[in-house]
Each structure stands twice: as structure tokens, then as C-alpha cells.
Amino acid sequence: MNPDPSFDLNDPGLISVMDELPLWSAPFGMKLLEKIPMHRAMNVLDIGSGTGFPATELAMRLGPSSTVYTLDPWKAATDRIRLKIRQYGLNNLKLQIGVAEQMPFPGNFFHLIVSNNGLNNVSDLAASLKECKRVARNGAMLVFTMNTRDTMLEFYTILTGILQKRGMNTEIEKLKEHVLIKRPPREKVLSLLSDASITVKEMDDEAFVFRYADGTSMLHHGFIRLAFMQPWKELLPPEKSKEIFSEAEDIMNRIAEKEGEFRLTIPFTTFVCQM
């Protein structure tokens, strides 16, 4: 093989794919890449591949002897991966629209399955893990990251306090249920893995921090608006949402004024499993 080293740095297509992944995904993703076995001649599945991480990176790192498959219901994001395939010449990356609960793959096919903070966003984790077991070869590895239920605890504590002060017990329960669904406790995840006959070999706990000048900047941050704001608003009565968020913003701003910044902590776990 004689790789072509040349890239046109003025090519708009190249420039458009050089943003490898959202900043939110990076801390999870770097840990994931530490744990993934880098072997030749593997069939690899990336669940919840989004705009292509870690699928595109794995296709390059594993080389042409391996084939990497994506799986995501997000068609527009998958179309962006097609652009990356063309730009980087990734003939060993195959794209599939679909969901983890009903995978469009044959049984006993994959040597490695990965997911970068994707399995905690499926509709049915139990069904998804059983599908992982079905499509995996005997002894295959499953490596995935999940942010835990204490994610952004600083903000959730403030929001819960506001709801308690207002006597909004129904909304407090909805908030707890929201966190439980999106970020199931470790005991639940371990139980579901066991039910799917998947053996946990290793678990690593880490955390990172998002730092903001104040609460106003946090609430207006692009990724907060993209991934979190709408679900938060749906937990509240529409007629009270604005004033509740305004109060939360004021509290966060006061914290930032006192402490010099407002911080959100994101704890997460990396699971290394065998099937």
C-alpha cells in the first residue's frame, strides 16, 4: 500500500470534515480509544455514531483489513459521514441507518462493538444489549462510555431547590424520572448486562468539568441548547418555564460572582465487556 499524503488545505470539503467530534463527546471518546483493542481483520460496530466518531477514527486506525459499521437513526448525521468517507478515502467504513433495539445485521458477525455515550440514549437499553449479544461473535468485546446520574449535579440541585420552594412536587418527580431514564444507575446497567449474558471485565470512573463565566453563558451555550434545554423545558409547565429558568440563571450568576465561575461536573464510566 502506498498512501497518498497529499491534501489540499484550501479544499472546502476537507475543511468541513476536520472538526472530528463535538467537544462534549471528546472526553468520553478519548477514554474509549484507550480501551478499544486495536487488532487487524475485525468487523466493528459503532452504535450511535452520530456524525462519525469514533467510527471514522477506528476505520483509519484499524486499517483496510477491518471493516467498521455505523448504526444511527439520524440520517442527516449519517450523510455527513459520507462526506468524511469521500474526503479521507475510507473504503472500510459502511453506513447503516437504524436503531440498536433492532439491528439490521446477522448474528455472530462482529468482533468488537463500541458506543461513545450512545447506549444511554437508546429507547430500550435491555433490548439493545441483547441485540449486541446476538450480533457479536463468541468472545467479542463491547466497549462503551456512559455519563452517570450525577451529571451536571450542580444545575439539577439548583433546579430541584427552586421546584421544592414552589411546592412543585409533580415536577420534582418528573425530573427524577428524567435523570433515571437518561442516566440509569450503575446497578441497573450491570443487571441488564448480566441479563444479556455480557460479562464486565473492567469499569473505569472519571469526570470532567465544563466551566462557564456565569449561568447566563451556560444556558446560552450551543450544546446546552442543542441537547439539554428542550428536555428540561418539557419537565415544566409552559407558563412557568421562563420564570423558573430565570431564577435558576440568577442563582448560577450569584455563584459565579462568588466563586469566579460556574462549573458543571460530568462523571462517566467506561465499561469493557466480553460477550
Q: What is the pLDDT along the chain (275 residues), one digit of tens a residue?
A: 455 556 787 887 777 777 778 889 999 999 999 999 999 999 999 999 999 999 999 999 999 999 999 999 999 999 999 999 999 999 999 999 999 999 999 999 999 999 999 999 999 999 999 999 999 999 999 999 999 999 999 999 999 999 999 999 999 999 999 999 889 999 999 999 999 999 999 999 999 999 999 999 999 999 999 999 999 999 999 999 999 999 999 999 999 999 999 999 999 999 999 99
How is domain 12-147 classified at the CATH fold level? Rossmann fold (3.40.50)
Q: Work out whether the CA dihedral 21, 22, 27, 32 comes out positive or negative.
A: negative
Cell of 35: 480501551
Q: How far apart are CA 206 and CA 85, in angstroms?
A: 32
List every span in the chain annotated with CATH 3.40.50.150: 12-147
- Enumerate the H helices of 65-196 as residue ranges: 75-88, 125-135, 153-165, 169-182, 186-195
Residue 214, classified by CB atoms within 10 Å of its CB into exposed (0-12), middle (13-18) or buried (19+), is middle
What do you get for the CA distance between the two ends of the chain, in Å? 34
Phi, psi for 151 (deg, rounded to 5): -55, 130
